[in-house]
Amino acid sequence: MLNVDLGRLYRTGGHEIDEDLHAGAVDWDEGDTAPAGPLHVRLDLRPAGRDVVARGVLEGTVEAECRRCLKPARRRISEDVSLVFRNDAEPDDPDDYPLPERGSTLDLWPAVREQWLLVAPSFLECESPCRGLCPRCGADLDEEDCGCEVSEADERWGPLLALAGGDASPMTEEVADGRSEEEGIEAEKA
């Protein structure tokens, strides 16, 4: 799988990996955004002093329900990766991975898995922009306009809407013009 003989790597000056990792061949944790098919791993490993540098590409496909309309959604991922393995890698350093302290085999799977999880989206949309489902009747708004009335926003959101450039209620106009709520009330009394 993704195991590299370090002795051979240092002797030959490099090693290339070009593999498809199928779902049953590797362990994904529950909750991981695992690829829908094989994960294609293409890496070129080179020694850099006592360290090892791996550069290449991870490619796979993610499938999930659209987060707005619940239809099946699919996205192809192709990501350039650069991995550095060090003897003195700090456990909290997100940029470096440790070389094995004992033994001569480097297991690339934990680093490849981490890189995949960093680029694979947790949520997908079927198309851009997906209008989603009507919150009242559940109709797919990309297929039909259901005619449900949209309720007005709660006036307590007024100050935030005013800051965002949205519609403002009378209270938000007071806040939006720079006066405090108390100053606005005093000004209205005068």
Q: How many CA atoms lie within 13 A of 115 on its CB side?
A: 28
**Separation of alpha carbons 187 and 190, rounded Å:** 5
The model carries a pTM of 0.72
**Separation of alpha carbons 69 and 124, rounded Å:** 10
**Separation of alpha carbons 138 and 55, rounded Å:** 47
Long-range contacts of 93-96 (CB under 8 A, 24+ apart): none
pLDDT tens, per residue, the chain with 190 residues: 799 999 999 999 999 999 999 877 888 888 888 899 999 999 999 999 989 999 999 999 999 999 999 999 999 999 999 999 998 888 788 889 999 887 789 999 999 999 999 999 989 998 878 999 998 899 999 998 888 887 667 788 888 888 887 654 444 344 444 555 555 556 555 5
